[in-house]
């Protein structure tokens, strides 16, 4: 049981974390542990001949949990006939068969695959008249109360700390009701609805009061994107600005996290402030760089007093004086900087990030979407080619859902006009255009595109990716459109990684036999396309590891447009001058469908080229603040050891 793990909380956790937190290596392990607790609870209730009352959540966080519960039902005979469930919330208005309805989500993820009785699951009704909502919500709560309350409530957490759709400002005694959704919440959901303008403004949600009355509460959070709000919810004071912080006052609540979501917790991020630790090279580097940035001092200006006054006296005692520690960390950071990402030929490579030999390397840059290569590592991409390496690009997905409808229609119309202009008879092109136009004219919000429309959108992105490669100087035979099957659902929600995805990836690696692989190492969303693509690469590399050519293959991870590696994590930093920054911008501009009105803009209003330049500039500024040379921009990488 999870609860028993909390009883082993250290003195630190009691001091810094105001609620039980359990950190797992990954979301899969965490989900299995939570599923085991739920299964045990269901079986106990069955033995007592009582119903088991579960509060269920939607979103990406509980997907793995529901998959494991389905497995337990199918493979280990776990029955759900005594389970009565109540979902937290539903968008309003929302048709139950809409691709974004929580009714559909719960059926697809769980209910259709287990033996729960249809009359035993309850999800707020998104089709009520507004006048009927208040009475309906009272009845929803009354039904829970009549059953004796929730035995266990599963929660996710929003980026602003909301639980259910209890947004910032919700009071602890708030009841089930219709709520207006916060802009942050709507932006986070806008990808599912193909744009903010299509995203619902209201929802029906279970109130905080009912959540707090549950006998047991488990909150799930995965990925770096949740790390800041997790810290605020767990370590900071209870406030209605962060509704999840109310759980600090629950007598049986647990936050279940993966390592990325827990990364900002004090005991994990700065363990030296908590207890005496074993000072590894990695921890020393992190502590010293954090101290320098906190004090706004170059590394070489840190003093013994700085270390002592900031909780690092034991490091000073073990490895001091400050001067010696400073020199060591400064040199290590300096050695991450290289203008030769493929290795510098005929040079001493003992302190360089990459090997000098072979002088001309075969390289694969894996790009989850058709523009991640140029956005995230465009400067390095260009430099690798200019320095004579054989650079291949593997575009892992078509990226078709990120193209606006009017853009697809414009290109379809262009084909018809092209054929007409040059006297090319093509009734098929006319038919495809008319079908696409008719569909898009009557397309409902969040309706899945027809295959024709998806293909048109995919071709647009393929052409842009090819244009970028040509701009860099890469010939067609070194451009690989992989079109991994997991992505091709036509919807925002993708399939899990499959055998075919891994095989396509491993076949490309084996064909090229690279000395370097570059992959997107984004960990913000464990269910996002970048992470799924990364998992395919990791699995392919592990399968290929026994092959002789893999002995000479290094894997470097880059980040996407939103986040960068922590300064203490960076193992290779490739600097760029002002001219190179402009060249990278021109490469990004080849992706015209992703400019201006981007389908998945997110909460950041900047265009991708602006995000990339700002991020690269910030990395260069951090190096400068720490006392190193000042560059216009830097692209950063971390090596993955397999």
Residues 6 or more apart from 507 whose CB is under 8 A from it? none
The three-class DSSP label of residue 356 is coil
Give whole-number Cα distances, 533 to 225, 485, 640, in Å. 18, 11, 15
75 assigned to active site: no
- Kind of pairing between the strands at 572-576 and 633-640: antiparallel
Q: Which single residue is written with the structure tokens 């984004």? A: 522
Closest CA to 203 of 267, 133, 151: 133
Q: Which single residue is written with the structure tokens 């080849």? A: 590
CA dihedral angle for residue 131, residue 132, residue 135, residue 136, rounded to 10 degrees: -150
Q: Which single residue is written with the structure tokens 């949600």? A: 205
Question: Which is it for the CA torsion 546, 395, 392, 353, positive or negative?
Answer: negative
Catalytic one of 13, 68, 90, 167: 167
Query: In degrees rounded to 5, what are phi and psi of residue 179?
Result: -125, 155
Q: Which two tokens stand for residue 293?
A: 């940035």
Q: How many helices and strands (H and E) does the chain possess? A: 22, 17
Report d(CA 372, CA 366) in Å as an integer.
9
* Residue 611 C-alpha from the chain's centroid: 17
Element at 439 (helix H, strand E)? helix 427-441
Give whole-number Cα distances, 168 to 8, 83, 178, 406, in Å. 32, 31, 15, 36
Q: Quote the Cα angle for 501-503-504, to 5°.
A: 70
- Kind of pairing between the strands at 633-640 and 554-558: antiparallel
Give whole-number Cα distances, 347 to 340, 363, 457, 495, 611, in Å. 11, 20, 46, 46, 35
Residues facing 23 on adjacent strands: 257
Catalytic site residues?
Answer: 167
């Amino acid at each position: 049981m999870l609860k028993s793990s909390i009883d082993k909380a250290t003195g630190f956790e009691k001091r810094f974390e105001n609620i039980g937190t359990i950190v797992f290596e990954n979301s899969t392990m965490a989900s299995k542990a939570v599923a085991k607790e739920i299964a045990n609870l269901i079986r106990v209730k069955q033995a007592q001949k009582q119903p088991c009352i579960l509060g269920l959540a939607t979103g990406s966080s509980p997907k793995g949990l529901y998959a494991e519960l389905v497995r337990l039902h199918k493979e280990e005979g776990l029955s759900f006939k005594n389970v009565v469930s109540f979902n937290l919330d539903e968008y309003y208005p929302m048709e139950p068969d809409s691709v974004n309805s929580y009714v559909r989500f719960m059926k697809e993820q769980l209910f259709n695959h287990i033996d729960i009785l249809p009359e035993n699951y309850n999800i707020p009704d998104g089709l009520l008249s507004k006048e009927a909502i208040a009475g309906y919500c009272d009845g929803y709560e009354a039904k829970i109360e009549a059953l004796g309350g929730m035995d266990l409530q599963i929660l996710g957490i929003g980026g602003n700390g909301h639980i259910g759709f209890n947004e910032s400002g919700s009071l602890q005694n708030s009841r089930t009701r219709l709520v207006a959704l916060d802009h942050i919440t709507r932006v986070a959901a806008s990808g599912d609805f193909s744009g903010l303008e299509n995203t619902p403004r209201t929802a029906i949600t279970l109130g905080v009061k009912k959540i707090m009355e549950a006998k047991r509460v488990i909150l799930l959070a995965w990925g770096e994107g949740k790390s800041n709000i997790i810290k605020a919810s767990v370590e900071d004071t209870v406030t209605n600005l962060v509704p999840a912080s109310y759980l600090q006052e629950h007598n049986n609540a647990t936050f279940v996290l993966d390592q990325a979501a827990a990364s900002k917790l004090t005991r994990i991020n700065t363990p030296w402030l908590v207890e005496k630790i074993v000072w590894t090279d990695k921890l020393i580097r992190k502590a010293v760089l954090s101290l320098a940035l906190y004090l706004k001092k170059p590394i070489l200006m840190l003093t013994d007093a700085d270390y002592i006054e900031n909780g690092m006296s034991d490091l000073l005692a073990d490895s001091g004086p400050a001067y010696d520690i400073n020199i060591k960390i400064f040199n290590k950071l300096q050695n991450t900087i290289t203008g030769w990402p493929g290795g510098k030929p005929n040079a001493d490579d003992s302190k360089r990030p990459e090997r000098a030999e072979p002088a001309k390397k075969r390289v694969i840059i894996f790009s989850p979407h058709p523009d991640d290569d140029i956005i995230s590592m465009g400067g390095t991409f260009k430099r690798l080619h200019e320095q004579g390496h054989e650079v291949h690009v593997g575009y892992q997905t078509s990226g078709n859902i990120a193209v606006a409808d009017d853009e697809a229609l414009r290109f379809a119309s262009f084909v018809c006009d092209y054929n007409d202009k040059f006297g090319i008879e093509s009734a098929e092109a006319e038919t495809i255009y008319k079908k696409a136009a008719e569909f898009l004219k009557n397309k409902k919000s969040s309706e899945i595109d027809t295959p024709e429309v998806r293909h048109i959108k995919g071709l647009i992105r393929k052409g842009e990716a090819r244009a970028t490669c040509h701009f860099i100087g890469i010939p067609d035979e070194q451009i690989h459109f992989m079109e991994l099957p997991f992505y091709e659902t036509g919807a925002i929600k993708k399939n899990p990684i499959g055998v075919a995805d891994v095989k396509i990836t491993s076949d490309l690696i084996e064909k090229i036999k690279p000395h370097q692989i570059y992959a997107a190492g984004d960990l913000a969303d464990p269910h996002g396309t970048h992470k799924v693509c990364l998992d395919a690469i990791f699995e392919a590399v592990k399968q290929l590891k026994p092959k002789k050519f893999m002995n000479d293959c290094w894997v470097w991870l880059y980040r996407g447009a939103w986040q960068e590696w922590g300064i203490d994590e960076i193992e290779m930093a490739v600097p760029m001058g002002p001219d190179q920054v402009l060249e990278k911008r021109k490469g990004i501009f080849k992706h015209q469908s992703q400019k201006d009105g981007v389908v998945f803009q997110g909460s950041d209003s900047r265009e991708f080229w602006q995000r990339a330049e700002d991020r690269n500039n910030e990395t260069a500024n951090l190096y400068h603040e720490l006392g190193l040379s000042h560059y216009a921009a830097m692209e950063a990488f971390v090596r993955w050891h397999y």
